[in-house]
Amino acid sequence: MAIMATGLTATPVSAADNGMMALKERMQNQMKIMKPELKEKVQALSMDTKMSLMAIMAMHNRSSNQATLRQVMLEVLHDYQGMVMGIMTESAEMTADSARRLANHRIPRGGLLAYIGLENINDEKLASLDGFNSAVEGGAKRIAEAAEKGDFVTAGSILGEMATGCVNCHTMFRKFPGETDLLKD
């Protein structure tokens, strides 16, 4: 057990505290590379929003210092397709591996908030994230479990709930992909 010196006394640090400290460090590393205008918005979020962002982050232990959110999303789509392929070929392994990889997708460089526009960094908008996360990541984990029980009917039915989560998040936080301003309306 790690011992942390606090003044004159030594306080034992539990595994949960260690996890919390690692999480805070990841958040601080994200904050370090944010431009002041983004950092200000993030700092102004309520404690509830910050806690819910931390809880979502705790479910993803792969933070990238290279990947953009677009790259992460394409990997997510790839894993989604892997799940569909696994279900359609009744492969529990293919389905569960793709699903768990999707559920623990990379966190892009600087964190999600850097990619969704300053206008979306407020308590009201970010309150929806938890629901999207449950539909998508939660759905993927349930698909993995169903596939491992050989229940591909249930696994298949959850695909739709997941896709609804993807699309709802896009509707709220994404611009139309790949648009150009060099064409007439």
Tokens, residue 21: 């400290």
When computed from its CA atoms, the radius of gyration of the chain, rounded to whole angstroms, is: 19
- What Cα–Cα distance (Å) separates residue 113 from each residue in 57, 68, 74, 85, 118? 12, 11, 18, 31, 8
Determine the Cα–Cα distance for residues 183 and 176; give it in Å rounded to an integer.
14
Q: Tell whether residue 67 is a contact of ligand HEC (CB under 6 A).
A: no
- Find, among 160, 162, 170, the residue nearest to 128 by Cα: 170
Binding residue count for ligand HEC, defined by CB under 6 A: 20
Contact pick of 153, 177, 180, 182 for ligand HEC (by CB under 6 A): 177
Q: Does 126 bind ligand HEC (CB under 6 A)?
A: no
Least CB distance to ligand HEC at residue 8 (A): 46
Q: Which of 102, 101, 158, 104 is nearest to 135 (CA)?
A: 158
- Using alpha carbons only, what angle is made at residue 71 by residues 66 and 38, rounded to the nearest 5 degrees? 65
Judged by CB under 6 A, the residue of 4, 77, 85, 88 near ligand HEC is 77
Looking at beta carbons only, is 21 or 77 nearer to ligand HEC? 77
Q: Does 170 bind ligand HEC (CB under 6 A)?
A: yes
Q: Of 37-45, 70-78, 90-98, 149-157, which part binds ligand HEC (CB under 6 A)?
A: 70-78
Residues found near ligand HEC in the complex (CB under 6 A):
69-70, 73-74, 76-77, 80, 115-116, 129, 132, 136, 162, 165-166, 169-170, 173-174, 177
